[in-house]
Amino acid sequence: MKEPRFSAASVRFLQTAARQKRPEWLDKHRAEYEELIRDPLQNLARRLKKELAPHAPGYNFPQKGIGRLKRPAGSEPNEWSAGVFRSWIHYSASVPRTSRFENNPNLYFMIDSTDPKDTVLVAGGLYMPSSKQMRALREAIAEDASAFDRLFADKAFKKCFRGGFSDERISSRVPRGFDPSHPRMDWIRLQAFFVWRPYKKSEFKSAQFPSLVARDFRQILRLNELLDLAIRGKLKGHTPRNVLKTQSKGLLDRLTDLGEPEPGTKPLREMDF
């Protein structure tokens, strides 16, 4: 049997769903939802767990309750969804957090039907670090960022994620206690430590798409391992291991605890993953 796969119709279905005002609309279009959204996402989740779980001890790869379209009761309409259904779906795998105040690096997949440019993407790392985690990461980078340099220069990693950390969230001021002339000030000023990449339509519709996502997630696991070590003060001198042999730890939920922005920082725009 052919595995369920996403298609251009999957994106169109999300666009249509986001315009609906009545919850019974989904009941009438249940078959389309299952074919275009639920089944392909569940297949992706199964493939990711099978291929990545042996290399990601402690990570939870959810298999149930994914792909839900109905917006939570009481949530306010926004630019993505004015009706009762979301215009996007996502999947996230991580080590379950032990503190409600802190996230850990994670693996993240998203289809956002409102974004015509980066409609389908993967991301990973730590998007919303706590103040404690951010301080630990900045201090680790200030002391010795060579492990990140080696990872970002690695051929396999560069094939998936060029340019290293995203600069989407960066402080406009030098963080307190750091030398303004530090050579890695571009990273020290970061407020989020993550990488991401969009997919082409041809990749998204391909039967090999789950394998492609798994390939990219393997590389993110390498980054997550370094972030975890940095947070625990054990990054210095570490050499990134081969992704197929690494035993990484990490996490990142879907941005539940936003916290307060630092003084002098740019206003946060709406997250696109």
Domain around 73:
8-231
pLDDT at 239: 67
For residue 209, the model assigns a pLDDT of 98
> Is residue 82 domain-resident?
yes
SS3 102: coil
Burial of 100: CB neighbours in 10 Å, binned 0-12, 13-18, 19+: exposed
Alpha carbon 140 to its chain centroid, in Å, reads 22
- For residues 112 and 17, what is the distance between their CA atoms, to the nearest angstrom? 12
Structure confidence by residue, pLDDT tens digits, 216-247: 999 999 999 999 999 999 887 666 665 444 33
Q: Is residue 237 part of a domain?
A: no
Residue 260 in any domain: the answer is: no
Within-domain flag for 27? yes
- At 88-101, the pLDDT tens digits run 999 999 999 888 88
Residue 244 phi, psi (nearest 5): -80, -15
Tell me the chain's radius of gyration from C-alpha atoms. 19
145 close to 236: Cβ distance less than 8 angstroms = no
Residue 36 in this model has a pLDDT that exceeds 80 = yes
In a domain, 252, yes or no: no
Measured between alpha carbons, how far is residue 195 from residues 21, 26, 57, 63, 207 in Å? 35, 34, 21, 24, 25
pLDDT score recorded for residue 99: 86
Phi, psi of 42 (to 5 degrees): -65, -40
Q: Express as a percent the part of the chain with pLDDT over 70.
A: 83
* Residue 273 Cα distances to 92, 115, 118, 201, angstroms: 10, 11, 10, 18
The residues pairing with 120 across neighbouring beta strands, listed in sequence order, are 111
Establish if 182 belongs to a structural domain. yes
Q: Does residue 199 lie in a domain region? A: yes
Distance from C-alpha of 137 to C-alpha of 253, rounded to nearest angstrom: 18
Residue 59 lies in a domain: yes
Count of the separate structural domains present in the chain: 1
